[in-house]
Amino acid sequence: MTREGRLNQDSRRKLKQVYHLFQFIEKLLLELSDQAGQSGRGVTLADHGAGKSYLGFILYDLFFKARQAGRIYGVETRPELVQKAHELAVKLGFDRMSFLNLSVAESAQSDQLPTQIDIVTALHACDTATDDAIAFGLQKHAKFMVLVPCCQAEVARVLSQYKALSLSRTPLAELWRHPLHTREIGSQITNVLRCLYLEASGYQVTVTELVGWEHSMKNELIIARYTGQKNNAAAQRMRDLLQEFGLTNLLETRFKLQ
């Protein structure tokens, strides 16, 4: 807060992003809530890289609080943030919020979460944490995934590693000859591969902006809806893209199809 008791500029930007993201997620929650009501259970949502759990608290306050069922799980690696979020949830009486001091990868194996999660969110989960969130969603049979990727560096590192070979093999390598371009093209390729991977795994994917660029440069919003129809053409395009950019080793790690 400022000295005048108002939200500071950084907090206002964060609040705008989270409120805007809530508008996307609310539609999914309403759809799932109708389905869950018929089975007598509430909607489950896992928020990965939760940080201070801004998103989780707003989701609970605006949606879950008025309903008798459903639970939010905040997954965060920093124990002090997990403890503060837990204390705030107790203070507010938000008793269907759980906070877990785990990495995204660890949470997939943890018995502190149910075997199925309806919605998986990851708001600015850094680098490969977004890929871990996707893997978590696949394992938990998520009906929806809502992802805002951030700081994708893994592909850029691989592009840099084989830059000399790529320059001799294809003129496309000019796109990542300079370090700045390597970072940007690596980020773009990463998100394209993620979308193809989700489609190949049985999801319908929509890509859009979260908020205006003046609020955040990490602004790409990926919404994936499970259809159960695996897209073989998307799988082949993903393999072709990995081959074209010299990233085929990622087929056995980040983009391994079931």
Residues 136 and 258 in one domain: no
Where in the sequence is the domain holding 168, given as residue range(s)? 152-202+231-258
What is the Cβ-side half-sphere exposure of residue 63, based on CA atoms within 13 angstroms? 27
User: What are the residues whose beta carbons fall under 8 Å from the beta carbon of 110, sequence distance 6 or more?
Assistant: 100, 102
The residues facing 99 across adjacent strands are: 74
Predicted confidence (pLDDT) at residue 52 exceeds the cutoff of 50 = yes
Residues 50 and 10 in one domain: yes
- Domain assignment present for 56: yes
- Domain assignment present for 220: no
- Split at pLDDT 50, 70, 90, the class of 80 is very high
What pTM does this model have?
A: 0.89
Residue of higher predicted confidence among 77 and 166: 77
Tens of pLDDT, residues 89-146: 999 999 999 999 999 889 999 999 999 999 999 988 777 889 999 999 999 999 999 9
Residues 44 and 16 in one domain: yes
Residues 126 and 29 in one domain: yes
Considering its fold, how many domains does the chain have in total? 2
- Domain assignment present for 219: no
Tens of pLDDT, residues 209-249: 876 544 445 678 999 999 999 999 999 999 999 998 889 88
Residues 133 and 191 in one domain: no
Residues 107 and 119 in one domain: yes
Which helix (H) or strand (E) segment is 227 a member of? none
Per-position b or e across 116-127, b if 16+ CB within 10 A of its CB: ebbbbbbbbbeb
